[in-house]
Amino acid sequence: MPLNRSLPLLIFLFLSLASGDLCVASSAPLETWAERTVSPSLQLPQSILEQQRAAELSHETALQLVSVSVSVSAVTSPSAAGQPSAGSLLLTDDGAEEDDEALTLVDSETMEEALILAEEETSPPEDEGATVEVTELQFDFPVVENQKVQYYIDYFTGPGRNVFNRWLERSSRYLPYMQEVFAAEGLPRDLVYLSIVESGLNPKAYSWAHASGPWQFIPSTGKIFGLKADYWWDERRDFEKSTHAAARFLKELYGIFNGDWYLAVAAYNAGPGAVARAIERSGSRDFWEISHNLHLPQETRNYVPKLLAVLLIAKQPERYGFIDTQFLEPIACDKVTVDGPLDLAVVARLADSSYGEIKSLNPELKRWCTPPQLQSYQINLPLGTKDTFLAAYAELPANERRNYKVHKFAKGETVQGLAKQYRLSVDDILRANSLSTAKNVKVGRNLAIPLRAGVDAIPREDLLDDPVVSKIATSRSYKVKKGDTLSKIARNSGATLAQLKSWNRLTDRSRLQIGQVLRVGPGKKSAQTPTVTAKTTSKKGTAPAAKKSPLNENKIVYKVKKGDTVYKIARQYAVNPAQVLAWNNLDNKHILQPGQSLTLRVQGRKGG
């Protein structure tokens, strides 16, 4: 269905996207599940269709409760439609509405991975060349080699090496469990590596289309497969629950496409309707043949080759130079059911653990406590701490289970008034919410209110909503509107302030003008991720030759100061941290020393 026939249609599609009609972040046209089933031989099970209709009706009811204003510029493309706007509302089960403006957290590690997942600077070959089945390695998933697969091997072992090494380290933590789930569903164990292509196994991965978690479900598809999400929790980020959902989804797709795994995997990315139409238009059921005629979105044409490249590297990491990878221990935990709500700082204290460890074992919990609207909740504890926790929990008075409550800041209220209402100081409220001044509090914001003096501070990231996008929007420009600030535009576009200044040649004294057009994403000549040149040889383990520097790129020498980190320096000059390491022949474990000289290649700046 075209997205550009008329403004009313675009607005309708934008509203539909708010609940999510894609299974993952994709550049394919937006459709409902029913629209995707265009061939009698490729029908989805009736139960799935019924669940989709129920999800859509639920969304229509929600829309009656919320007034949404959509600008023309917000719906000019699928990517733009998927971008969360400054005024979008996040509904919570306890009646709170969260304005996500000023609540975006940019995580440096996740952003670095986002650039590799988005592969903005890649140019894979359209023709895969000769395709040869891999027989020297043991796979339970069909694996082949060709020029496209080799291209992504070069990409992940070249520009993406540091990030891919991180993915390998995580793989030993999550994949053993995932493989057991897939095996129980009758799926290939090796298919779990698709989660690396989706998210890099980062539970914080969050896309422009609101896809979340290791398997990148969007809200409506997650709901169909039983994954709940609201202000407090998001089961799409739970590696156990989301893996069960992904296994059921992939099993459905495998049946729809008559046992062809490449088509099923492509449908996980683009949707079954897009793949069904590609089959009808091309007259072929061969994934590679369909890809030749451009019947599938480019992202989907590259999706299967990326999975095959990941499998080939992950099965033999030493062959590709990953010899110092520090593989993590498989995740293991105790499970207990608690009466809710219960603060995670309290859980950590009772289990003789740390807040960070409890959060890492429960990635579906977005905030600092279990969901208040649930009477009970099953929580993961460090292995071997169950008995200690239960004994201490039995002695804990009910009024000490929570350190904070949530107050939605209403029109006419002041922080001073709230402090008086709750018998606190203004500083108590500001400190609890990581605020420097009461002027930063806007109507509609949820404030954490301490219930007693001296409680543990809430980590700032647990006050904010899901952070960065793992799919950089294809729209790279933004027209400034009334009330915009450079910081606000940077947050909403998933860029850093330094990047936005660099891309637009702005300084701290620059003033924005209404109607001014800003570049908000890396351009095709950006130094964010070096372009990989496709190779026709089948030789493995060799990184591609570096591309020549852009004409407006300057080399500078930076003297390391006390307190500097690679990320801090990279952010200052709007470059990728991985590039700083590569330019200076440093590994990702290198510790900077004051006075050390670093070579940087920076666009639009004078050397020296």
Q: Which residues are catalytic?
A: 198
Q: How far apart are the C-alpha atoms of 366 and 231, rounded to whole Å? A: 7
**213 near 238, Cβ under 8 Å?**
yes
Q: Which two tokens stand for residue 541?
A: 């383990």
| ∠ Cα 345 350 355 (to 5°) | 30
Question: Residue 296, SS3?
Answer: coil
CA distances from 237 to 204, 303, 304, 341, 360 (A): 7, 22, 23, 20, 11
Burial (0-12, 13-18, 19+ Cβ within 10 Å), 256? buried
Q: How far apart are the C-alpha atoms of 2 and 14, rounded to whole Å? A: 13
Q: Which two tokens stand for residue 494?
A: 């998933």
Residue 518 CB contacts under 8 Å (≥ 6 apart), including other chains: 477, 478, 479, 480, 489, 500, 503, 504, 512
Beta strands in 359-439 (DSSP E): 376-382, 404-408
CA distances from 540 to 158, 529, 543, 560 (A): 12, 21, 9, 36
Q: How far apart are the C-alpha atoms of 5 and 1, rounded to whole Å? A: 9
Q: How far does CA 467 lie from the centroid of its chain?
A: 8
**In this structure, what are the phi and psi dihedrals at residue 407, rounded to the nearest 5 degrees?**
-125, 125
Q: Say how many C-beta atoms besides its own lie within 10 A of residue 82's C-beta.
A: 28
Q: How far apart are the C-alpha atoms of 8 and 10, rounded to whole Å? A: 5
**β partners of residue 556:** 600
Residue 492 CB contacts under 8 Å (≥ 6 apart), including other chains: 83, 84, 85, 86, 101, 104
Q: How far apart are the C-alpha atoms of 358 and 345, rounded to whole Å? A: 8
**376 near 340, Cβ under 8 Å?**
yes
Q: How far apart are the C-alpha atoms of 350 and 333, rounded to whole Å? A: 15
Residue 300 CB contacts under 8 Å (≥ 6 apart), including other chains: 26, 28, 266, 269, 270, 274, 275
Beta strands in 350-467 (DSSP E): 376-382, 404-408, 446-450
Q: How far apart are the C-alpha atoms of 490 and 480, rounded to whole Å? A: 12
**205 near 216, Cβ under 8 Å?**
yes
Q: How far apart are the C-alpha atoms of 78 and 30, rounded to whole Å? A: 7
**104 near 461, Cβ under 8 Å?**
no
